[in-house]
Structure 1
Amino acid sequence: MSIILATAHDTYGAVLAQIGNPSPEAPPLADKIMQLVRYLTWFVLLSGILAIVYAGGRFAWEKWSGGGLQSPKMVAGAMIGGVVATSAGTIMNAVVG
């Protein structure tokens, strides 16, 4: 039994020694994916800015017309969404890494 294990160890050890240590390499189309991520990041930031501007205008209109105030919730939601969106990379690094 020990002869079989020794032979298997020698055989597989020689095969595994030939494999080598691969160097890290970017996956195919990585530059296109990163470009898409950058575009989506700009879209998220732009939509957050537009949401805050819209909510601010609505807040002024509600204040002027004397209606119920719903816009402070919109401003708070847009700000919280912006914080989560801009810190998504840091959050993922903390969770995954």
Structure 2
Amino acid sequence: MTSNGHCSYLPISGNEWILNDTYPDEKRLQNIYLYHVKREVKVLLANLYLSPDFKFDNELRVDTHPRYSRDGRMVVVDSPHEGYGRQMYLLDISRILEN
């Protein structure tokens, strides 16, 4: 985990997994991922395109802000990647946590 993002430990995993995101890279892609602390393994959950219309210096902006469900098996992110403005997306991470 070399980039700054919105980090949070998944409590149901005994704090073995960290949920994180990245700011847009040079291709305007934002990554949502899990990081296993002990194994030092990064698991990409989503790679989302952020249109140049969305900047970080004005009112029209979107941060992914990944957050987990109460049971820790789902992740919700904000993204405009499909062209409909800011939307919320639900990602099932239960299979990843089983491994």
Q: Please classify the TM superposition score into its range, dividing by the shorter chain length.
A: under 0.3
Bigger relative contact order, structure 1 or 2 (CA pairs below 8 A, ≥6 apart): 1
Query: Structure 1 or 2: larger helix share?
Result: 1
Give the TM-score, by structure 1 length.
0.20
